[in-house]
Amino acid sequence: MFFLSDMLNRKLHLPKPGEALPGRGRPIRTAARHFVSKRPLKGPYPDGMEIALFAMGNFWSAEPLFWNMPGVWVTAAGYAGGSTPNPTYQEVCTGQTGHAETVRVVFDPAIVSYAGLLQRFWESHDPTQGMRQGSDIGTVYRSAIFAAGEARQAQALAARDAYQAALGEAGLGRIGTEIRAAPEFYFAEAQHQQYMARNPGTGHELQGTGVLFPASGQAPATPPGR
């Protein structure tokens, strides 16, 4: 019983400095191309593309929410927010790498705004659940936005505040989403890329709160420098 309790405790708390798994010096192998669009996962990408990173529970279920959005050039499943270099799926699932399952979204801001991606993020999962998402429990399933630059981080924070107000009006709890500068992103193994397209009828859908993002609360959608 103590062993099971210790395992759960490790999954619910981020590892302290010096406790994370050591990882490895080289990237793990992944797919070369997106299973659906056939575009290269790691690039090269067309000029003008931006990258957004969203963690919102199981990346098998989260990735399909973005890959069909107009203006999204390619998506990828991976790991971010931890301290173990080049982790494997098995390592991340122990909770001892500090990473969250994360979706990498390469998008054209001239077609789809970052605000539009944020709206999809907020409405598609429950950001009030802490270190879990539904029946998926652990730090690996936490809600997080890893923003590329100060302007995008400020936009994400403003969107959080707007959505928090909407949740409050609906009688729901506090958002626990981690919002910070984008860390290193590690591509997940090939079998995890576009998992729901490779394995139709498997997995489960993420459950949002049912609260719509308020149109009046959207942060400015103008890309930085434009």
208 lies in a domain? Answer: no
Number of domains in the chain: 1
| Stated pTM of the model | 0.92
Which of 46, 12, 67, 86 is CA-nearest to residue 193? 67
Read off the pLDDT of each residue in 89-95 and give the average, rounded to a whole number.
97
pLDDT value, residue 226:
31
221 lies in a domain? Answer: no
Instruction: Please state, rounded to an integer, the average pLDDT across all residues of the chain.
Output: 93
Query: Is pLDDT of 222 > 50?
Result: no
Contact present, 57 and 138 (Cβ < 8 Å): no
Residue 204's pLDDT band (boundaries 50, 70, 90)? confident
CATH of residue 89: 3.30.1060.10
Query: For residue 57, what are the domain limits?
Result: 2-14+31-203
Beta strands in 10-113 (DSSP E): 50-56, 72-80, 100-107
Strands 178-181 and 143-147, sheet pairing = parallel
